[in-house]
Amino acid sequence: MRRILSLVISVLTVGLIPMSASQACSRMKPFTLDELFDNAEVIVRATAVKYAKAPDDPRFMTTAVPDSTIEFRVEDKLRGKNLPDKIILNGYLSDKDDFNDIPVPYMFVRPGGRSGSCFANTYKEGAQFLLFLKKTGEVYSPNISALGPTNEQLHSDDDPWLVWVRNHLSTLAHKESTSALVTDGILQWLVFHRSSC
């Protein structure tokens, strides 16, 4: 009887572990690039410089929000107003690269974010990253799109992901200005026709 009970508990435990692990990092709906760009108030190319606050225990790393923070030097401001030259983000420093392994445009987070909380929180010291951020008060966070490419490491100043994002931002700006022109034209037409009646 004990053996059967032990076997049942083992089967239940094994069955629950994958389920809870998959629930720890899942989405309700598929990722879209619109979600990434709509949720990002700030987009910058930045270098991970040093710890602003080191981890309390360097032997322990969480996939959730770390207690440590990293200072980033902003190299290039692609979106956002009145941005500082330094940004602080929760995270861990590493000496290892963590490049995305899928083609551009990225539709999935880099390997470091594919488990746990669905966000990569480790940054190679001295490496550049393209950061999609939101701001709450004075605090910035890349946690804007679960399993999305919100903080990808770049190979260079002309990394294909950086080039693609620049081009996409240019396309979005053109669409917005064209939309504004059409809206203004319609309003002017309505005002003119209303006044001539």
State residue 24's pLDDT score: 54
Residue 152 counted as domain residue? yes
Q: What is the DSSP pairing of strand 128-136 with strand 139-141? A: antiparallel
In this structure, what CATH number is given to the domain that contains residue 150? 2.40.50
Contact 44, 87 (CB under 8 A): yes
Q: Is the dihedral of CA 109, 48, 123, 156 positive or negative?
A: positive
- Residues 72-98, mean pLDDT to the nearest whole number: 97
- Expressed as residue numbers, the domain containing 73 is 24-156
Residue 197 counted as domain residue? no
pLDDT band at 116 (very low <50, low <70, confident <90, very high): confident
State residue 169's pLDDT score: 97
- Residues 134-140, mean pLDDT to the nearest whole number: 93
For residue 196, pLDDT beyond 80: no
* Tokens 């991970």 sit on residue: 48
pLDDT tens, position by position, 19-75: 333 445 778 899 999 999 999 999 999 999 999 999 998 888 888 889 999 999 999
- Kindly give, in sequence order, each residue whose CB lies less than 8 Å from that of residue 162, ignoring residues fewer than 6 positions away: 45, 130, 154
Contact 129, 120 (CB under 8 A): no
- In terms of pTM, does the model score above 0.75? yes
Amino acid at 48: A
Residue 169 counted as domain residue? no
Domains held by the chain: number: 1
In angstroms, the CA 87 to CA 142 distance is: 11
